[in-house]
Every structure is written in C-alpha cells, then in structure tokens.
Amino acid sequence: MKGFAWTSAPDLAAALRAGSATVAATMAAAPGPAAANAVILKAGGIDLLDLMKEGLLAPQRIVNLRGIPELGRIAEEPGGALRIGAMVTLAQLAGDPLIRARYGALAQAAGGSASPQIRHVATLGGNLLQRPRCWYFRSIHHDCARKGGRQCFAFMGENQYHAIFGQYGCAIVHPSTAATALVAFDASVELVGARGARRTVALENFLLGPEVDLQRENALAPGEILTAVLLPAPKPGVRSFHLRQGELDSFDWPIADVAVVLELGRDGACRRAGVVLGAAAPVPYRARGAESALAGQRIAEGTARSAAIAALAGATPLAKNAYKVPVFEALVRRAILGAAGQA
Amino acid sequence: MSRRILNVVINGERHELLIEPHWTLLQVLRGQIGMMGTKENCLEAECGVCTVLLEGKAVNSCILLAGQVEGRAITTIEGLGDPEHLHPLQAAFIEHGAVQCGYCIPGMILSAKSFLDENPGRQPTRQEIREALAGTLCRCTGYGKIVDAVAAAAQRMAGKEPTP
C-alpha cells in the first residue's frame, strides 16, 4: 500500500467539505495520476484496503467517517419506516431485534455475508458501494472495460461466477448480498450532496447496470455521501426470507442468493411479491416474472415451483455458468416456501 | 507522508504510538510493539490468523488501518491468559488436543471468545460454533477437536462473567 494522508471527520458537515474535494476515484490498470489524486471517504475500509493492496487505488487522502455518530444509528421513523445509518455494521444488522422481526430477509442476508470478523467492521453503506469482485476487474494485469479498457475478459474467459442476466458489455455480478434483500423490500438510499442537499432514491434506481454506465455501479454524484438506507414501514402480513448458496460450506461469496418478500392476505393469498436474485446480474435482479406468477395465488409447492421457473426465464448464461440456472430455481422455490412458513 | 500519534489501549495498557497512516493494526502489533502472538498470513481477511478483539469483537487486524482503532481497546492473544492462569478456551484447546502446528490458534481462540461473549450463558450448537469460526482457517486439524474444545469452554464459561 502507498502512503496517504489521514483525517477523521467529526461530523457530516466536515465529511461533506472533505468530500467536495473528491476527484472521481478512477480505476486504472496501473494506478494513474487520477487515481493517485483521489480523496476517499472511508466507512469500514474492508473493500478500500482490498483495492489499495491490489494496486487498483492509491488515494492521496483518506477521510474516516467512523466518528460521525448519526451515521451509526438504527432508528424507527414516525409512521413505522426504518432508517439505518450508513455506518451500521453487517453484524449489527444481523443481530438487531427490530430488523430480525420486521425485515427478516435483511438480517439473514447480512448475517450470511462474509465472515464474523468482516461483519464486525464492514458497514451497510460500504457494502452497497463496494466495487465488483470480478477477478478480471481486481487484476491490475487486465485492462477491462469497467476500468476503461476495450473488452470484458469474462465473456471469453473464466466466467463461472459471473452474471446470467444483463451482461451489457460487462459480466460482473453485484457484490452486495444485503442489496438483494433491500431491493426486495423496496428500500431507498438517502444521499447528501456537498452543499447539504438531501435526496432519496430507490435503491433499485440508484444501482446502475453497465447499459447505463459501464464504469460505475451507482448514481452517487461527485462529493455526495450515502448517509442512510430507508426501509418502508412493513405492511400487515409481510413475511420475508433470504437464502444463499456458496460453493463452500465455509465463508465465501455466494454463487447465487435470493430474497423473497411476500405480502399475504388473511385468506392466505399473496397480494404482492418481491423476488430478487443476487449474484445473478450486474445489479440485483428483480424477477418480475416470478412476482406476477405469485400475485393472487396461495403459496404452495406448485406455485413456488412455477414462480421459480418464471424467475429464470430469459437468462443468458455464459459458457461456464449455466449451472447457476438450476441453483437459482431451487433457491427461489425454497425462499418462497420459507417466506410463507412452509420450508 | 506524515507520521501521526495513535492512542490505543492494548490488553488493558495505554499506548501512545507514532505511526504512518498506511500501517495496518497488524503491522503496529507485530512490527512496532513486538507482540508476535497475532499471526500474519494472507493479508486480505481470508484466513483469520491475524484476528484480534476490537472492543471485544473479533476483527481481522490485517485489513484494519491502525488509525481506525484510535481511542479504542484491543485484545490480543497475549492479553488472554498466561501459562499459570489459562483462559478457559486456552485450557480447553490443550485438553482436547485442538492444536497441531498452532499458527491459526491465536485467531481461533479469539474468534471463539468473541462468539462466546456475544452469546453468554447458553450452550451453542456445534453448527453455531462452526459458523462462528468460519472466518478462521486451520489446515491441520479438520476442525473436529477445535469445535470440541470451544464447546467444552462454553460449558465452563456459561454463567460466569466474560473474562478480559
């Protein structure tokens, strides 16, 4: 790791001032002048240190956000919505009684991410903004399309962990497992700009696929800070479930993960379903076919199975990742039954 | 780049250290203080041999900038017990033959301590113990005796105050 200057922001205003000097953190095959000039605002630092150790980032200044108390709180808003500060750790999310009771799939997704040691440090904000884990993106020897190069090496290369949907010029999968659950719950992110202006954007719209921007995974503007994630108040009859499948029983990135949120009526019929696939596409993939297959239906093995098949319709797997299709189908079916309490 | 002062409590003792901003906590513990119990291996939070406790919670010191622990309390394996006064986890690891080459053991014991202190007063299942140790790799034992040792220590520690 190269040297850098270190400062701690005592409050949001100080962080915004520091962030306004942010040069877009340009990734380069070899760190170039742009990457070397960047000011980086650091949350837990897990991905940042990875990128620096891999030689992909060499910031001149790092601003630590850990000392800002308002970013570290989980609070219920009037009306029942939940506001989760960007610096809340994955371990806090997994263990929070309110999240476990009302947004179970989020607690499951956070608790199944990475290792216990990483969950104690990694934050929700950092988790959402981490860079992709594609091995070509992470290699300084591959000048890939996402780093401004001419090609995506995954298309003709080792693509067993890559996307099966939406590979428009780049085949990454979104690295955040928490995002899978958050999109299923229709969560939003709160963003504060350099002049203090706040805006709220649906997470689903905040995360950008390569067809929108090949080099960035989100719509964070220069100098802007992601301050919180907002979860809508739970409707009566909402139940949720998250499942992940790794290649190992031990900790690893999921090869597939699925979040299901069901709004069940008193008659047991599904009023509305959210079905989202993680590690499937460059952004969390909302399986609209599965959602409409479940609407109005009573949940049973048969409906879950049809919805799972509908979820994978239109998949475009690459040479080495077609195995993901049946894995996802099994996870979608089990997660639907899990959410309905029939697992 | 400019050196800066780091104030940190390590195993109950206050330290004022002069560090470079890009040093990790692992580099400070081993290179600057000379505490070699915290091991160094993958340097990217995959193997867990560098695990220490930050405010009682297991973290990878290889991927934590030293500046991140300003004003906070660190526990390393040196702070857990000594040959005359073993921590129940250390005693259980010896009794159950859970140590072979030993390189992962400081991280293994601290991962287990973090988990048991977060779940006081109840006996965890073997599956829960395995999940709690998932971030710490052992290439010798096959984990069976390590899980035995943690289960035995949990029994001994149940109902007692968490030890430092």
CATH number of the domain enclosing A285: 3.30.390.50
Same domain, A91 and A205: yes
pLDDT tens figures, A27-39: 444 444 445 558 8
Number of domains in chain A: 2
Q: Which residues of A touch B59 (CB under 8 A)?
A: 117, 120-121
Q: Indicate if A266 and A329 belong to the same structural domain.
A: yes
**Chain B partners of A5 at a C-beta cutoff of 8 Å?**
1-2, 21
B59: closest CA of chain A, how far (Å): 4
Same domain? B65 vs B92: no
Number of domains in chain B: 2
Q: What is the pLDDT of residue B159?
A: 64
Residue A82 contacts residue A76 (beta carbons within 8 Å):
yes
Co-location of A321 and A269 in the same domain: yes
Of the candidates A2, A91, A251, the beta carbon closest to that of B22 is on A2
Does A89 map to a domain?
Answer: yes
In a domain, B163, yes or no: no
pLDDT tens profile B58-95: 999 999 999 999 999 999 999 999 999 999 999 999 99
Task: Tell me which H or E stretch contains B18.
Answer: strand B13-19
The three-point CA angle A229-A233-A236 to 5° equals 145
Q: Show the domain range for A103.
A: 70-129+174-231
At B162 the pLDDT is 47
Residue B125 resides in a domain: yes
**Are residue B74 and residue B92 in the same domain, yes or no?**
no
Q: Is residue B164 part of a domain?
A: no
Determine, for residues A62 and B60 on separate chains, whether the beta-carbon distance falls below 8 Å.
no
What CATH number did the domain enclosing A90 receive? 3.30.465.10
Same domain flag for A260 and A332: yes
Q: Within a domain: residue A313?
A: yes
Q: Pick from A185, A214, A231: which residue ends a domain?
A: A231
Q: Is the confidence at residue A86, as pLDDT, over 80?
A: yes
| CATH label of the domain that carries residue B119 | 1.10.150.120
At what angle are helices A104-111 and A177-184 packed, to 10 degrees?
A: 170
Residue B102: inside a domain, yes or no?
yes
Summarised one tens digit per residue, pLDDT across range A136-162 is 999 999 999 999 999 999 999 999 999
- Does a structural domain hold residue A158? no
What pLDDT was estimated at residue B158? 86
Residue B95 lies in a domain: yes
Residues A225 and A110 in one domain: yes
Closest residue of B to A122, CA-based? B59
Residue A9 counted as domain residue:
no
Chain Cα centroid distance, residue A143: 24
ipTM beyond cut 0.85: yes
Quick one: what percent of chain A has pLDDT higher than 90? 88
A290 and A308 Cβ atoms separated by less than 8 Å:
yes
CATH number at residue B37: 3.10.20.30
CA B32, CA B80: separation in Å to the nearest integer? 20
Is-contact A313 A302, C-beta < 8 A? no
Report whether pLDDT(A63) > 60. yes
pLDDT band at A189 (very low <50, low <70, confident <90, very high): very high
Answer yes or no: do A124 and A208 share one domain: yes
Q: Both A206 and A318 in a single domain?
A: no
Chain A residues whose C-beta is within 8 A of a chain B C-beta are: 1-6, 8, 45-46, 49-50, 53, 62, 64, 66, 91, 114-118, 120-121, 250-251
- Contacting residues for A220 by C-beta, under 8 A, at least 6 apart: A129, A191, A206, A226
- Domain with B112, as residue range(s), is 88-157
Structure tokens at B15: 């330290």
A20: pLDDT strictly greater than 80: no
Chain B CB contacts of A64 below 8 Å: 67-68
Q: Do B59 and A4 touch (CB under 8 A)?
A: no
Chain A residues within 8 A of B51 when measuring between CB atoms: 117
Cβ atoms within 10 Å, residue A255: 21
Asked if residue B42 belongs to a domain, the reply is yes
- The reply to whether B96 and B144 lie within a common domain is yes
| Same-domain status, A310 and A190 | no
**pLDDT per position in chain B (164 positions), as tens?**
578 999 999 999 999 999 999 999 999 999 999 999 999 999 999 999 999 999 999 999 999 999 999 999 999 999 999 999 999 999 999 999 999 999 999 999 999 999 999 999 889 999 999 999 999 999 999 999 999 999 999 999 986 544 54
Task: Check B21 against A114: CB less than 8 A apart.
Answer: no
- Under DSSP, the state recorded for A69 is G
Is the same domain home to A204 and A323? Answer: no
- In this structure, is residue A15 part of a structural domain? no
In a domain, A99, yes or no: yes
Which positions 57-96 of B are in contact with A (Cβ < 8 Å)? Answer: 57-60, 63-65, 67-68, 70
Same domain, A284 and A205: no
Output the pLDDT for position A80: 96
Tens-place pLDDT, residues A105-126: 999 999 999 999 999 999 999 9
Within-domain flag for A153:
no
Report yes or no on B47 lying in a domain.
yes
The reply to whether A250 falls in a domain is: yes
Report the chain B residue with the minimal C-alpha distance to residue A3: B22
**Which contacts qualify for A142-148: CB closer than 8 Å, 24 or more apart?**
A142/A29, A143/A29, A144/A170, A145/A169, A145/A170, A145/A210, A145/A214, A146/A27, A146/A170, A146/A172, A146/A210, A146/A214, A146/A215, A147/A27, A147/A28, A147/A29, A147/A56, A147/A215, A148/A26, A148/A27, A148/A28, A148/A215
Q: Does B45 touch chain A (CB under 8 A)?
A: yes
DSSP per-residue codes, A81-126: -EEEETT-BHHHHHH-HHHHHH-HHHHHHHHTSS-HHHHTT-BHHH
Q: Are residues A114 and A226 in the same domain?
A: yes
Mean pLDDT (chain A, rounded): 93
Residues A292 and A220 in one domain: no
A1: pLDDT confidence band, cut at 50, 70 and 90?
confident
